[in-house]
Chain A
């Protein structure tokens, strides 16, 4: 079976400025991948290549085997849920209810089902159907945009910095929800993030991007302890694994606060 998402020697530039010289990776169905890298590393560019908003000048991007050069973005939207870095671009209706229903309407979902799914989403994301999106706070707008993406139950979710501007509780709730989708429905997730704590808690696999090149690609635990790669990509490692590294072998399995506590207690005897 074809991979969920495949970058096959992708070359891309804006005008004459080459952003991605030659990028290849594959993501299998059911994976939860974090794409990390410094500002301007090309993360948003990669995410836009995934659903055909940008097309590679050389090479191919394939989603479940479909070449993005051959399928329109609006058709890919049935498979891919895409959250932009800036939620205001996505929101176009005057109430939260209409906003959530709009995407379903576009994709031809029946009226009754629209109602049912919107109501479920309103509850999950703690949204009031009568809110006017444009007068809400930045974090609330982010939540509205995210809800309108996830309501489609897409096979592949691409989240460009999903939790910026969200408070801690919001952030965990949303990530728990995405994780549940990943676990129960085998939804594939590609998330762009700067927040290493978040990446370490939720991602299974990490891609490290720097200057358009893939510096690292591996299981989250391996990347978190690969200080060289993280440093080269100018990414700040998560605190606990970084601390654990300083203590050598005894702490080699430590990734979270709980791990650390257990290891310290064992040490004290």
Chain B
């Protein structure tokens, strides 16, 4: 799970867009998916996203993200199938009660696709943008104070670190005989609680030493112009934004 926001290196047209363009595009795409209640259009949007992903060389990553999102949608799909009772019934039980209905299937598919189309672009945006570029562009172009962006990136960076740390601590406790490798899930949860102590200690220590070393290296001296990279807007940015704007206009009038 730690690698869901992981950057996939590359040099495609998508990678080369301005980081700010990428964020805006991702949000515009979300809006697109929320604008339409039409199953076909949702299918089209997803297909469009996947084509872009494969063209940008992050197809495998996008498929992985798609699988993860689908997994999270399972509960919703089941609820839709149970509670949407209109339309034609399928899989009729002996008592004449249909297990699923055509409405159930339709809405399950529609909502799943909408959720996916609204979240996948954001996750894809992280796959093609390095955190550093994102923050620097926000600081340089949008004049967001650096320390706020720094907090954000540090928080993101801590997710995989903490996950790794947690794994190591579990290993250490297994090695001394704590039964984390039990199959009994309740027992496992009970055992995890005492682990929070070393995890908390090590993360507080990490944060503390991180802060000290940032301070020692002159963090407080950093100004908006301190990055060495410039983040210009190019023709490609404009075209991409225009394309998505056109999509939104079309959806507003015809979706």
Point out the residue from B169, B174, B197, B201 that lies within 8 Å of A74, measured CB to CB. B174
- Near B by CB (< 8 A), chain A positions 82-137 give 82, 84, 86, 88-94, 103, 106-107, 134
Range of interface residues on B (Cβ < 8 Å):
20 to 34
Asked whether, in the complex, the Cβ of B198 is within 8 Å of the Cβ of A74, the reply is no
B177, A89: Cβ atoms closer than 8 Å? no
- A53 near B198: Cβ-Cβ < 8 Å: no
Most buried by A among B171, B177, B195: B177
Q: Please tell me if the beta carbons of A78 and B176 are within 8 angstroms of each other in the complex.
A: no
Q: Which residues of B contact A93 (CB under 8 A)?
A: 194, 197
Distance to closest chain A CB from B144 (angstroms): 36
Indicate whether A148 reaches chain B with its CB closer than 8 angstroms: yes
Q: Answer yes or no: B181 CB below 8 A from chain A CBs.
A: yes
Q: Lowest 3 CB-CB distances: which A-B pairs, in order?
A: A77-B177, A89-B172, A82-B175
Report yes or no: A88 in contact with B174, Cβ–Cβ below 8 A.
no
Kindly list chain A residues whose C-beta atoms are within 8 Å of the C-beta of B37: none
Residues of A within 8 A of B175 (CB): 51, 53, 73, 77, 80, 82, 84, 90
A-B contact pairs, 6 of them (CB 8 A): A51-B175, A73-B171, A74-B178, A82-B175, A84-B175, A90-B175
Extra 11 A-B pairs, beta carbons < 8 Å, given A74-B180, A88-B202, A89-B169? A72-B179, A72-B181, A74-B178, A82-B176, A90-B173, A90-B175, A92-B197, A92-B198, A103-B176, A106-B177, A149-B176
Q: Is B60 an interface position by the 8 A CB rule?
A: no
Assembled-state Cα–Cα distance A215/B212 (Å): 43
Judging by beta carbons under 8 Å apart, are B176 and A90 in contact? yes
Complex Cα distance, B194 from A3, in Å, reads 36
**B208 CB–A CB distance under 8 Å:** no
Residue among A53, A92, A93, A134 facing the most chain B CB atoms (10 A cut-off)? A92
Q: Is the CB of A84 within 8 A of B177?
A: no
Q: Measured between C-beta atoms, what is the minimum distance from B163 to chain A in Å?
A: 14
Interface of A with B (CB < 8 Å)?
A: 48, 51, 53, 72-74, 77-78, 80, 82, 84, 86, 88-94, 103, 106-107, 134, 148-149, 152
**Bound form: Cα–Cα A92–B178 in Å:** 12
Answer whether A88 and B181 are a contact pair too, CB < 8 Å, given A53-B174, A149-B176: no
Could you tell me which B residues sit within 8 Å of A by CB distance?
168-169, 171-182, 194-195, 197-198, 201-202
Q: Which residues of A contact B177 (CB under 8 A)?
A: 74, 77-78, 103, 106-107, 152
Q: Is the CB of A77 within 8 A of B176?
A: yes
Residue of A nearest to B178 (CB): A106
Within 8 Å CB of A73, what residues of B?
Answer: 171, 174-175, 181
Q: How far is the CB of A102 from chain B (nearest CB, A)?
A: 8
| Interface pair A106/B176, CB less than 8 Å apart | yes
Bound Cα distance from A48 to B168, whole angstroms = 11
* Interchain CB contact under 8 A, A94 and B197: yes
The smallest C-beta distance from B8 to any residue of chain A, in angstroms, reads 16
Chain B residues positioned under 8 Å from A82 (CB to CB): 175-176
Given contacts A72-B179, A74-B179, contact A91 B174 (CB under 8 A): no
CA distance A84 to B180 in the complex (A): 17
Residues in B whose Cβ lies below 8 Å from that of A91: 198
The chain B residue sitting closest to A72, CB to CB, is B181
Q: Which residues of B contact A134 (CB under 8 A)?
A: 201
Question: Which residues of chain B are within 8 angstroms of A149 by Cβ–Cβ distance?
Answer: 176
Q: Shortest CB–CB separation between residue B188 and chain A, in angstroms?
A: 11
Chain A residue contacts of B174, Cβ below 8 A:
53, 72-74, 77
Residues of B within 8 A of A86 (CB): 168
- Our pick among A74, A80, A152 for the contact of B181 (Cβ within 8 Å) is A74
> For A51, what are the chain B residues with a Cβ–Cβ distance below 8 Å?
175
B173 touches A92 (CB 8 A): yes
Which residues from chain A contact B171 at a C-beta distance below 8 Å? 48, 53, 73, 89
Measured in the bound complex, the distance between the Cα atoms of B168 and A92 in whole Å is: 13
Q: In the complex the two chains form, what is the Cα distance from A152 to B173 in whole Å?
A: 14
Chain A's nearest CB lies how many Å from the CB of B78? 34
A93 to B172, alpha carbons, bound, how many Å? Answer: 14
Chain B residue with minimal CB distance to A103? B176
How far, in Å, is B206 (CB) from chain A's closest CB?
A: 11
- CB-defined contacts of B179 to chain A, threshold 8 Å: 72, 74, 106
Q: Which residue of B lies closest to A107 (CB)?
A: B177
Q: How far is the CB of A259 from chain B (nearest CB, A)?
A: 38
How far apart are the CA atoms of A107 and B198 in the complex, in Å?
A: 20
Nearest Cβ on chain A to B200's Cβ, whole angstroms: 10
Centre residue among B168, B169, B173, B175 by max chain A CB count within 10 A: B175
Report how far A77 CA is from B202 CA in the complex, Å. 24
